[in-house]
Each structure stands twice: as C-alpha cells, then as structure tokens.
Amino acid sequence: MNAHTAIAEQPAETWRFKLGQCISHKDQVMPSLVMGRVRTTKGREVYGVRSFMNVDLNRDRMILAESLVDVVVGTAPCLECLLHQTGLCPACGLPAA
C-alpha cells in the first residue's frame, strides 16, 4: 500500500459546523463565527471561534462542539451580533457589497 492508496481509503470527515458558520454558546448569547476546527485523538470536535458580541474582552476561544449551537436568523444571538448590525452577516444571506 502506498501513500496515495492510504489517503483514498480514509472516510470523508464530517463536521458538526462549517468554517465561517454563525454559531453561539448553548448556555448564553455569544454570537460567533467558526474560524477553525480540529479533532482530538478521542474524536471530539474542538472549534476555534471569534466572538462578535458588542462587548467581549476575549474575542477568540476554543470550544467543544457539544457547547455550541447553530444561530438562527432573527434570534437573540443573531440580533446582538456585530456582523448582523453592520449588514455583513453570512447567515442573513445579504448580497455582498
């Protein structure tokens, strides 16, 4: 078996969230974007997120997937997001300027 065969035999990876997707914390309003993601050796997903709350002293975080939820357009996390307020929100589907 060569390297090309080994790569071809690996199953396609599936992720709970896409890069650039709007997400929030499940227990509090924290509108954020997925900036990166990794899988631990135990298979758990860890996401690097950038917060877009109005006031947030720690904009960049690493959070387990189990603590994140998808943001629905028009909900509290969406309405409190700086990107939504400036018209740059990827979730709203606004045409690019």
Pairwise CA distance, residues 16 & 97, whole Å? 29
* Residue 4 domain-assigned (yes or no): no
* Residue 10 domain-assigned (yes or no): no
CB 94, CB 47: distance < 8 Å: no
Residue 52 is encoded by which pair of tokens? Answer: 């877009």
CB 34, CB 18: distance < 8 Å: yes
Strand locations in the chain (E) = 22-25, 32-39, 45-51, 60-64, 68-70
Residue 95 pLDDT class (50, 70, 90 cuts): very low
* Residue 91 domain-assigned (yes or no): no
Digit-coded pLDDT (tens) for 57-66: 999 999 999 9
Digit-coded pLDDT (tens) for 17-73: 999 999 999 999 999 999 999 999 999 999 999 999 888 899 999 999 999 999 888
* Residue 51 domain-assigned (yes or no): yes
- Domain count for the chain: 1
Q: What is the pTM of this model?
A: 0.77
CB 51, CB 61: distance < 8 Å: yes
Domain span at residue 82 reads 18-86
CATH number at residue 35: 2.30.30
* Residue 78 domain-assigned (yes or no): yes
Query: For residue 94, which amino acid is it?
Result: L
Pairwise CA distance, residues 94 & 14, whole Å? 27
